[in-house]
Structures are given as structure tokens and as C-alpha cells.
């Protein structure tokens, strides 16, 4: 199974900060990676697909990069509505696997 | 507008069975892989199973193999997850999700396995 190691597991930041979350795959997955945002009591929402393509309707302050085994999600300038938990997902090989999540909290 | 509406969750005793359903609208259901994802209380996301457009390929996470069966009815735009021999560790919110890359999610349906 491919393990997705997401870091950090939690992060405190302020409105306006630039934030980066990383996912490392235990083996190469090409660009078969997505990033998701989940707020309490809500279903996850896809932000990024194909490692770097922005989902329609998602603000441009979100961006994704990487390929192979190392991937990053960057939020260029944090907004109040961005405080949530973020997950990466690999769908290159079965079983598909998520990272353990990054909880982004207000400093 | 893409909509995925799950139903069928609830409380079941260990060893029991439950069938989850998901009705899709707003897109051509038969053109997409469909996926089930679950989330135990206070925990992260776990991919459970998915099924190809024609139902000819199905994949499962090891922990549910032999106990859960994913199926679909393209004429009814519906996806199902038959869950047998349920265990306490199957307690979770179950999400119906469109496609392998998970573009759209249902609202989730809580399954509680407890005596």
C-alpha cells in the first residue's frame, strides 16, 4: 500500500499568512494527487486535482505543486474561512489512501 | 448542479447488516466511477471502495473485503454499499463520492455499530 505522510499534523497561523502543507508518498504516484478541505460537520471539498489544477470555484490563493513523491498545498494569504482541516489523497494505485490530515488553526 | 444524497444509515448491532444507498443527479451517472469514503468519529478520511462505470471493476480496502459489496444501478442513478458482519470499527460517517479523484461528495450518512 502507498503511505501518504502529511505534515504538519497541525498548524497555527494568522490571517494574511502564507501557509504550506506537504504530502510525501511512499512511492511514486505521478500527479494522481488531490487536496481537500473539510470544515467541522461538513463533507470534504476538493480544492486541487491532478496535483496542481485548481478546482472550479476555488479561490486562486490556493495552489498545488509537485509530482512523483512530494507534493505541496500552498495558501498564499490566509483568510478567516480557510481555517479547517486539509487532506491529501493519492488515487494512483489501490487502495487509494489519504494523508492523516492537517488542522489549520487561528493563532 | 451535482447532487449525491445518501440514505440507509443508522444503529446496528455488531455482526449485523446495513445497506447504504446514494442517489445521484445533475450529471451523467453512468459516465463516472463512484466511490465510498468513510470517516470514524474524530478521525481522518478512509477510502472504502469504488466501482467502474459499468460495474465491471470493483476495489475495496482490505479491512472490508469479504464483508462489504459495492454496486450500482445506472438506470436508477444509484450507488449502494451492502455492509455485512459489521464491527464496532465500522462506525463512521459514510460518504458517496463521484469519481476516483473525488470531485463531488454527498452530505454523509452515519453508521453506528454498537450493542
Taking 50 as the pLDDT cut, the residues of chain B under it are: none
List residues in chain A touching B: CB distance below 8 A: 32, 34, 36, 38, 43-46, 49-50, 55, 87, 89, 91, 94-101
Residue whose entry in the numeric block shows the C-alpha cell 476555488: A58
SS3 call for B104: strand
CB contact under 8 A, A55 and B103: yes
Asked if B105 is an interface residue toward chain A (Cβ–Cβ < 8 A), one would say yes
Separation in Å, CA of B39 to nearest CA in chain A? 10
SS3 call for B29: helix
> How many helices (H) and strands (E) would you count in chain A?
0, 11
SS3 call for A14: coil
pLDDT in tens, A60-75: 999 999 999 999 999 9
Write down the pLDDT at residue A106: 87
pLDDT in tens, A33-61: 999 999 999 999 999 999 999 999 999 99
**Do residues B37 and B93 lie in contact, with contact meaning Cβ atoms separated by under 8 Å?**
no
User: For all residues of chain A together, what is the average pLDDT?
Assistant: 97
CB contact under 8 A, B101 and A91: yes
CB contact under 8 A, A98 and B107: no
User: Using CB atoms within 10 A of its CB, is residue B70 exposed (0-12), middle (13-18) or buried (19+)?
Assistant: buried
Write down the pLDDT at residue B62: 98
Write down the pLDDT at residue A27: 98
pLDDT in tens, A92-106: 999 999 999 999 998
Write down the pLDDT at residue A107: 86
Amino acid at each position: 500500500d502507498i503511505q501518504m505522510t502529511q505534515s504538519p499534523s497541525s498548524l497555527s497561523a494568522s490571517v494574511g499568512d502564507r501557509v504550506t502543507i506537504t504530502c510525501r508518498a511512499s512511492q511514486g504516484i505521478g500527479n494522481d494527487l488531490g487536496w481537500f478541505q473539510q470544515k467541522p460537520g461538513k463533507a470534504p471539498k476538493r480544492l486541487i486535482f491532478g496535483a496542481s489544477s485548481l478546482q472550479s470555484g476555488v479561490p486562486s490563493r490556493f495552489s498545488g505543486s509537485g509530482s512523483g513523491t512530494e507534493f505541496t498545498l500552498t495558501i498564499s494569504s490566509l483568510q478567516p474561512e480557510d481555517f479547517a482541516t486539509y487532506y491529501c489523497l493519492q488515487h494512483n494505485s489501490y487502495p487509494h489512501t489519504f494523508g492523516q490530515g492537517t488542522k489549520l488553526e487561528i493563532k | 448542479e451535482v447532487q449525491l444524497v445518501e440514505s440507509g444509515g443508522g444503529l446496528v448491532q455488531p455482526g449485523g447488516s446495513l445497506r447504504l444507498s446514494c442517489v445521484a443527479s445533475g450529471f451523467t451517472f453512468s459516465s463516472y466511477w463512484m466511490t465510498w469514503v468513510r470517516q470514524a468519529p474524530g478521525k481522518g478520511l478512509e477510502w472504502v471502495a469504488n466501482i467502474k462505470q459499468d460495474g465491471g471493476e470493483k476495489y475495496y480496502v482490505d479491512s472490508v473485503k469479504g464483508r462489504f459489496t459495492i454496486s450500482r444501478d445506472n438506470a436508477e442513478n444509484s450507488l449502494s454499499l451492502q455492509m455485512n458482519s459489521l464491527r464496532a470499527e465500522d462506525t463512521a460517517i459514510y460518504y458517496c463520492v463521484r469519481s476516483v479523484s473525488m470531485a463531488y461528495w454527498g452530505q454523509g450518512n452515519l453508521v453506528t455499530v454498537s450493542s
